């Protein structure tokens, strides 16, 4: 393709959601001027603030902290079902505590690694 023309750049304009899908906007909110659009940067800053709050004090009752604790519970259920089920019951009844869940997950991982080594198997009398 010796004589080919260069491809011209296509300019795309950003579409607003209410322009593309006008029927999805609530009528009463639009009539009162209550529409609030959040940008990606605002959402990201809000999540960073929540994450900083969790890092400073993991025991806080935060939606992101609870979601993380339950996600780690699922990992624990896959690794060791009885331990994961016990942690799930503790988190449901006592409130999702991220610090406790992470500690139990670390101890379970260490125990699984120990059992899978030759020295650990000899120590437990399995090998």
Write the DSSP symbol of residue 60. S
Cα atoms in the 13 Å half-sphere on the side-chain side of 49: 6
Within 8-127, residue ranges assigned H as helices are 17-20, 27-32, 40-56, 63-79, 81-94, 98-115, 118-123
Domains of the chain: which residue ranges?
Answer: 61-127
pLDDT of residue 40: 75
- pLDDT tens figures, 91-104: 889 878 888 899 99
Handedness of CA 127, 84, 89, 63 (dihedral sign): positive
- pLDDT tens figures, 49-98: 877 776 666 556 677 778 888 999 999 999 999 999 999 999 889 878 88
| % of the chain with per-residue pLDDT over 70 | 62
pTM of the model: 0.53
Show the tokens assigned to 16.
Answer: 């607003």
């Amino acid at each position: 393709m010796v004589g080919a023309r260069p491809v011209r750049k296509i300019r795309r304009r950003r579409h607003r959601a209410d322009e593309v899908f006008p029927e999805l906007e609530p009528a009463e909110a639009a009539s009162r001027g209550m529409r609030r659009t959040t940008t990606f940067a605002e959402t990201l800053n809000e999540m960073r603030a929540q994450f900083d709050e969790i890092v400073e004090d993991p025991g806080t009752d935060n939606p992101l902290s609870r979601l993380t604790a339950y996600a780690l519970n699922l990992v624990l259920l896959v690794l060791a079902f009885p331990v994961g089920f016990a942690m799930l019951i503790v988190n449901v009844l006592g409130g999702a505590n991220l610090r406790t869940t992470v500690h139990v997950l670390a101890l379970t991982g260490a125990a699984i690694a120990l059992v899978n080594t030759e020295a650990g198997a000899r120590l437990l009398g399995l090998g």
